[in-house]
Structure 1
Amino acid sequence: MTEPAPPHRQPEEDPRHGRLAARPAPPTTEGGTGLVSLPGPQRESPALAYVPAGGDGAYRLVVLLHGAGGSARQGLDLLLPLADAHRLLLLAPQATASSWDLIVEGYGPDVRRIDGLLDTLFARYPIEGVALGGFSDGASYALSLGLTNGDLVDAVLAFSPGFAAPLVTHGRPRIFVAHGTDDRVLPVDPCSRRLVPRLRSLGHPVEYAEFAGGHEVPAAIRQRAVDWLTAQRGPGPGR
């Protein structure tokens, strides 16, 4: 007899649809602090995590996704200078190809890899609240996964995104979008200026910041994004 699917996943939904199964739970082992390497399967590049030392209580987990042709370290560096002050546990996976699976050939290997990394961190650290963030292709992927997994993810930080392409949606995570008005890689007009109104029409609370600059994430925008992330909490995943 086949066991029923977990209540947070519809029977037809799996990593091919962008669904993440991992969920926070009381830690069963103790993890280290500082910069932590999380090796993946053989021949895959390791993911990186940064865990602030000291303090009490749960961490806010932010999964950070690099741009096309980028690295886990570049993803981590998006918010690394701000992690200690805000007790942010940062996780930066490495895409299995030159960009994320959705952009290359469809959901699958990167979803499974991120799911496994989340399980590892949930088993080691107390976590309250999960956000996704990213730059460029990573921002598009963060939005797509965030809309798909709003029963886990309560916020998305999208720096210079191009699109959002969820196959299924759950919940209404709140969203921060920033884009440079002089971006020549992903121009603001066909990207964020179209995307943000669409997200708002779907009921997502969206904070939108344009800045004078190109395809980049200025320090002031990173600070504004983290201030937004930590100043308020949404009604909760799945609501």
Structure 2
Amino acid sequence: MSATFSAQAQLGWQAGVLSARPGKSGEAPLPAGLHLLTDDRDPESALYVPPGTGSAALPLVVLLHGATSSPERVLPVLREQAERGRFLLLAPKSRDYSWDIIGGGFGPDIAVLDRLLGRVFEHFTVDPARIALAGFSDGASYALSVGLINGELFSRILAFSPGFMVPGRRSGKPAVFISHGQADTVLPIQRCSRRIVPQLQANGYQVDYREFAGGHTVPPELASAAVQPLVELPG
């Protein structure tokens, strides 16, 4: 069953606005494991359901891949944490080599994300206070941009090595986690996170900023630190 959206909701996609919201699920939960989500409109995305989730409302982390990457390649960034913390891990696929704002504006990828969220909310009872939007590289830039626009939906934004964030509508005050390697040659820290973080702080956002001695990557310990406020990770 696919989520449907009003004409007003579809118009909001052009501004990066998402309409799907968690509520009482109407479909049977999907079993534990990796599920590929696709239909005739959208590219193949992935949802990882960890074992032992039970019947309580679940945290959800949406994880966005970098340029020329894919859900399969980005899932390992947080898959172990999803298993340990028992949260749903949704990895959308961009329609092009990267996310739509890289090409100039919101549109098709926001539509994909909204429909995917609708499908997850149909099958699972998601805790509305524990929904995070995460991403790596171009996916981190997209997570920052979309997360700030939709701050009433996402309580937390996790940006691993972001390059930028787009101006525009802001809502809510999600907490922000940013990590960046000091030796990053793909998205150099000086012109990326060291510019982004002060802008966020000046606008009243709570930012947990972690620099590390490394390149364009996500150290496992920082991946765990990023999701820690959403879940209790066993030692």
- TM-score, normalised via structure 1 length: 0.88
Specify the alignment match of 1:146 in structure 2: 147
Contact 1:49 1:76 in 2 (8 A): no
Contact 1:139 1:160 in 2 (8 A): yes
> What value does the CA root-mean-square deviation take over the aligned residues?
1.8
Deviations 1:123-150 (A, max 9, x none): 1001012110000000000000000001
Specify the alignment match of 1:211 in structure 2: 212
In the alignment, structure 1 segments of 5+ residues that lack a partner are: 1-5, 232-239
Specify the alignment match of 1:85 in structure 2: 84
SS in 1 for 2:113: helix
AA in 2 matched with 1:117? L
Specify the alignment match of 1:235 in structure 2: none
Specify the alignment match of 1:48 in structure 2: 46
Residue 12 of structure 1: how far off its partner (Å): 11
Deviations 1:74-126 (A, max 9, x none): 22221001112111100001000010001123100000000000000001001
Residue 53 of structure 1: how far off its partner (Å): 2.3
Specify the alignment match of 2:110 in structure 1: 111
- Distance, in Å, in 2 between the alignment partners of 1:208 and 1:144 is 17
Count of aligned positions: 222
Specify the alignment match of 1:223 in structure 2: 224
Contact 1:18 1:166 in 2 (8 A): no
- Distance, in Å, in 2 between the alignment partners of 1:40 and 1:78 is 25
Alignment partner of 2:28 out of 27, 30, 49: 30
Residue 11 of structure 1: how far off its partner (Å): 9.1
For 1:1-239, what aligned pairs fall within 5 Å after superposition? 14-32=12-30, 33-42=32-41, 44-54=42-52, 55-128=54-127, 129-230=130-231
SS in 2 for 1:14: helix
Percent of counterpart pairs with the same letter?
Answer: 45
- Distance, in Å, in 2 between the alignment partners of 1:178 and 1:50 is 23
Contact 1:148 1:166 in 2 (8 A): no
